[in-house]
């Protein structure tokens, strides 16, 4: 004991600051550790999962596979050919859902898609068909696809085909329609349907001709450049869109298509800063799909919302969705819209956050603060906070403002529960009422309860392995 009194005291404090404050008032130096107990009720499962002998190697493999994937745009073609969709079959964002539980924007998008496909003459007729269960509805994620917001894919829509040249893994996504009154935000007025028709008859075939003439476009390389030029690839895709346009231009021009069509397509893409989102998303999914189904891995491989439920999939628990009611984003609103107009969180676009982009990359895109709310300082702080819940730093996606540190990637369910920090998502906000369109953009997190549910499943899977080493805990 006398040793303690002889020298300068060495004080380390964790948890609430009362004691540290008192010691500091007596002029001693205190090292404060930012610690809080794990999420309530999760301590036992967390102990089991953290003792899983497979975990470290499994997560290392998951990260290696995620970072090893490359995504190239290899073709553009109708969803019926790419995904085998038949008339009356529709894909949607997020985990599985029925018409009865679907939110306004998902319903609106479905009605619009049915009219676009010529299955129903008008939205009212389409609603009747939907009500009677005559449409096939399944998640994009179950069909190697992703879709922003409502994420509606119907057979006649054209989709980008992305592939990883090393593994042949493929992922699909529709072409981005722009902002405002668009199908993915639940709008279905005649102008929306008209635009979809032009995209299917002019834009899609043109892009197909250009991509086939050009050869594969390296989407991963464009993503790496974007985060050095102020994009975070979820709500800011300006430079990505510009680079795509630049890369495809010579082939577009020499496609032999009417120059008025080429000019219109180029003006459409150039006028839509979000066009590249629909390439960023499938590129992220290709990387995360490579990390699926690794026993013992606690890494999140998908976060997706259907406007009613938020769903998450984890590498070590296969294709099981952990779901809970989606939160409603908080942020900035367009025109006269306000919080009461916003639908809960919707879209597969949280695949970008799952891969280290979007909300995780806010530090790379400080201007995003003006779109979704917050300050430049909060954008930097958000990215820094995400390092607490991720397994690795992305070797290709580096942030100049953080001295070229790699983005935080690979969300670890165990780290989320250990720290209580939830993944930060930034997102567009759809109007609650079908037919409205976009009402704003903001910030949101997954519902916290999906993480204990996933942890329980991971603990159950690890259970026998951990119990077979009864001394592990004490050692």
Contact residues toward its own copies (CB under 8 A) are 228-231, 238-239, 242-243, 245-247, 249-251, 253-254, 259-260, 262-264, 266-267, 270, 366-367, 375-377, 400-401, 403-404
Contact 72, 217 (CB under 8 A): yes
Nearer to its own copies, 80 or 214 (CB): 214
Residue 13 tokens read as 């404090």
Nearer to its own copies, 5 or 260 (CB): 260
Nearer to its own copies, 213 or 320 (CB): 213
User: Rounded to the nearest whole angstrom, what is the least distance from the CB of residue 239 to its own copies in the complex?
Assistant: 6
Nearer to its own copies, 324 or 396 (CB): 396
Nearer to its own copies, 128 or 258 (CB): 258
Cα 251 from Cα 255, distance rounded (Å):
6
User: Rounded to the nearest whole angstrom, what is the least distance from the CB of residue 148 to its own copies in the complex?
Assistant: 22
Cα 171 from Cα 146, distance rounded (Å):
8
Nearer to its own copies, 31 or 375 (CB): 375
The single-letter DSSP state of residue 263 is H
Nearer to its own copies, 294 or 372 (CB): 372
Residue 283 tokens read as 């590129």
User: Rounded to the nearest whole angstrom, what is the least distance from the CB of residue 324 to its own copies in the complex?
Assistant: 35
In degrees, to the nearest 5, what angle opens at C-alpha 319 toward C-alphas 314 and 325? Answer: 70
Q: Please say whether the dihedral angle defined by the alpha carbons of residues 259, 261, 264 and 268, taken in this order, is positive or negative.
A: negative
> DSSP labels for 428-466?
EEEBSSTT--EEEEEEE---TTHHHHHHHHHHHHHHHHH
Cα 425 from Cα 42, distance rounded (Å):
24
User: Rounded to the nearest whole angstrom, what is the least distance from the CB of residue 237 to its own copies in the complex?
Assistant: 12
Nearer to its own copies, 245 or 448 (CB): 245
User: Rounded to the nearest whole angstrom, what is the least distance from the CB of residue 395 to its own copies in the complex?
Assistant: 16
Residue 232 tokens read as 């975070």
Residue 419: C-alpha distances to residues 19, 206, 251, 287 (Å):
21, 49, 50, 26
User: Rounded to the nearest whole angstrom, what is the least distance from the CB of residue 291 to its own copies in the complex?
Assistant: 29
Helices 238-253 and 204-214 meet at what angle, rounded to 10? 80
User: Rounded to the nearest whole angstrom, what is the least distance from the CB of residue 372 to its own copies in the complex?
Assistant: 14
Nearer to its own copies, 193 or 266 (CB): 266
Dihedral pair phi/psi, residue 12, rounded to 5°: -120, 130
Q: Across-strand partners of 169?
A: none
Residue 287: name the closest of 142, 148, 164, 423 by CA: 164
Nearer to its own copies, 15 or 395 (CB): 395
Question: Which ranges of 140-237 does DSSP label H, i.e. alpha helix?
Answer: 190-198, 204-214, 219-226
In degrees, to the nearest 5, what angle opens at C-alpha 224 toward C-alphas 64 and 173? Answer: 85
User: Rounded to the nearest whole angstrom, what is the least distance from the CB of residue 14 to its own copies in the complex?
Assistant: 31
Residue 252 tokens read as 């577009």
Exposure string over 398-427, b if 16+ CB within 10 A, otherwise e: bbebbeebbbbbbbbbbbbbbbbbbbbbbb
Nearer to its own copies, 119 or 217 (CB): 217
Contact 281, 349 (CB under 8 A): yes
Cα 374 from Cα 376, distance rounded (Å):
7
Nearer to its own copies, 231 or 412 (CB): 231
User: Rounded to the nearest whole angstrom, what is the least distance from the CB of residue 3 to its own copies in the complex?
Assistant: 29
User: Rounded to the nearest whole angstrom, what is the least distance from the CB of residue 247 to its own copies in the complex?
Assistant: 7
Cα 300 from Cα 291, distance rounded (Å):
9
> 10 Å Cβ neighbour count for 33?
10
User: Rounded to the nearest whole angstrom, what is the least distance from the CB of residue 112 to its own copies in the complex?
Assistant: 28
User: Rounded to the nearest whole angstrom, what is the least distance from the CB of residue 137 to its own copies in the complex?
Assistant: 37
């Amino acid at each position: 004991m006398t040793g303690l009194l002889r020298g300068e005291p060495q004080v380390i404090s964790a948890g609430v600051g009362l004691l540290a404050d008192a010691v500091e008032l007596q002029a001693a130096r205190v090292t404060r550790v930012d610690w809080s107990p794990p999420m309530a009720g999760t301590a036992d499962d967390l102990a089991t999962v953290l003792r899983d002998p497979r975990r470290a190697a499994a997560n290392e493999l998951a990260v290696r596979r995620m970072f090893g994937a490359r995504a190239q745009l290899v073709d553009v073609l109708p969803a019926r050919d790419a995904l085998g969709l038949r008339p009356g079959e529709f894909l949607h964002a997020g985990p599985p859902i029925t018409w009865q539980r679907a939110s306004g924007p998902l319903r609106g998008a479905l009605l619009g898609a049915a009219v676009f496909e010529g299955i129903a003459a008008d939205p009212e007729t389409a609603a009747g068909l939907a009500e009677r269960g005559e449409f096939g509805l399944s998640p994009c994620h179950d069909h190697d696809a992703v879709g922003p917001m409502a994420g509606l894919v119907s057979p006649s829509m054209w989709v980008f085909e992305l592939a990883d040249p090393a593994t042949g893994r493929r992922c699909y996504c529709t072409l981005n329609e722009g902002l405002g009154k668009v199908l993915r935000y639940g709008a279905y007025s005649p102008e929306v349907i008209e635009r979809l028709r032009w995209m299917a008859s002019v834009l899609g075939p043109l892009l197909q001709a250009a991509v086939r003439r050009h050869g594969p476009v390296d989407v991963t390389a464009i993503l790496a450049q974007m985060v050095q030029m102020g994009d975070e690839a979820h709500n800011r895709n300006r430079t990505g869109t510009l680079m795509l346009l630049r890369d495809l231009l010579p082939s577009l021009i020499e496609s032999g298509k009417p120059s008025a069509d080429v000019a219109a397509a180029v003006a459409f893409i150039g006028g839509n800063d979000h066009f590249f989102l629909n390439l960023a998303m499938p590129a992220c999914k290709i990387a995360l799909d490579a990390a699926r189904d690794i026993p013992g891995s606690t890494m999140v491989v998908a976060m997706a919302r259907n406007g009613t439920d938020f769903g998450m999939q984890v590498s070590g628990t296969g294709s099981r969705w952990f779901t809970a009611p989606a939160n409603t984003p908080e942020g900035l609103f367009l025109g006269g819209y306000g919080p009461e107009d916003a639908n809960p969180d919707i879209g597969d676009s949280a695949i970008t956050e799952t891969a280290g982009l979007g909300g995780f990359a806010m530090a790379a895109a400080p201007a995003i603060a003006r779109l979704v709310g917050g300050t430049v300082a909060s954008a930097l702080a958000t990215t820094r906070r995400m390092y607490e819940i991720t397994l690795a730093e992305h070797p290709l996606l580096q942030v100049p403002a953080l001295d070229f540190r790699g983005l935080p990637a690979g969300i670890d369910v165990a780290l989320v529960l250990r720290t209580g920090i939830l993944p930060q998502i930034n997102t567009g906000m759809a109007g609650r009422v079908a037919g409205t369109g976009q009402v704003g953009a903001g910030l949101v997190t997954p519902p916290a309860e999906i993480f204990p549910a996933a942890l329980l499943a991971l603990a159950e899977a690890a259970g026998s392995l951990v119990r077979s080493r009864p001394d592990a805990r004490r050692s």
